[in-house]
Amino acid sequence: MSTARMVFGYLGGVMILGAFVWIGIALHMAYTKMDELLGFLKNCSAVMARAPLRNGGPWGKLLLIGGISGIVTFPGFYLKRGELSADDLDRLPAPFKRTFAWMQWSAIGILSFASALWIVGKIVGWHT
């Protein structure tokens, strides 16, 4: 095996490890902070429309946390449509906002990194 393939293998492993860490943090937040989060965002129709997902097991909780993360990190779209209460967003504690921003941007980074690895692998011809 060439050095380049080994490097790409390790980079792929780091990406997969990062994805598992992200999932672990999201599930921890979903199981320990969900009621508190939904209490802060009770006037947001975009969040309340997703709230039944919390009864959907780990997958539903993961989808709900991911949805809330996107809404809190990129609120402009939801504020314009009236699906997010500006008061609720202002009342949300800063540690939650920072965590959601970190989660959203790290997920974007992990997916971008995976796509870049796949594209480079296709260009080099490692994938058929």
Average pLDDT of the residues in 60-71: 93
Specify the pTM. 0.83
The predicted structure's pLDDT at residue 127: 59
Percent of the chain at pLDDT above 90? 73
pLDDT at residue 128 tops 60 = no
- Burial of 13-43, coded b for 16+ CB within 10 Å and e otherwise, reads eebeebbeebeeebeebbeeebeebbebbee
